[in-house]
Amino acid sequence: MGVPEMKERLERFKVKRESLTIEIKGLARDIREKLNPAMVDDVVDLAVSEAATMMDSLIVKQAEMIALRSKIWELEEALGY
């Protein structure tokens, strides 16, 4: 893979990183809202199962982000950044 291709790939990864960041922040915000006791009359009404499902998604997104960061660091190192 040549330098232009590596730079293009790096830019695509950075765009994906921004998208994942937005998704992760959104999931974290939604989970916080589901588990906020101030939002319900009784704590038994907290949406724990919904929050747990969202946590599963958050775990997957975080793993994607970790893998993506590794690829970005690899390309930046190869490009001398």
Delimit the domains of the chain by residue range: 3-79
| Type of residue numbered 75 | L
3-class secondary structure, 1: coil
**Contacts of 33 by beta carbon, 8 Å cutoff, 6+ apart:** 39
Chain CA centroid to CA 30, Å: 13
**Token digits of residue 13:** 């990864």
Report if pTM > 0.75. yes
Q: What is the token pair recorded at 66? A: 């970790």
81 residues of the chain, pLDDT tens digit each: 899 999 999 999 999 999 999 999 999 999 999 999 999 999 999 999 999 999 999 999 999 999 999 999 999 999 999
Give the separation between CA 12 and CA 40, rounded to whole angstroms: 42
Residue 61 near residue 24, CB atoms below 8 Å: yes
Instruction: State the amino acid at position 81 in one-letter form.
Output: Y
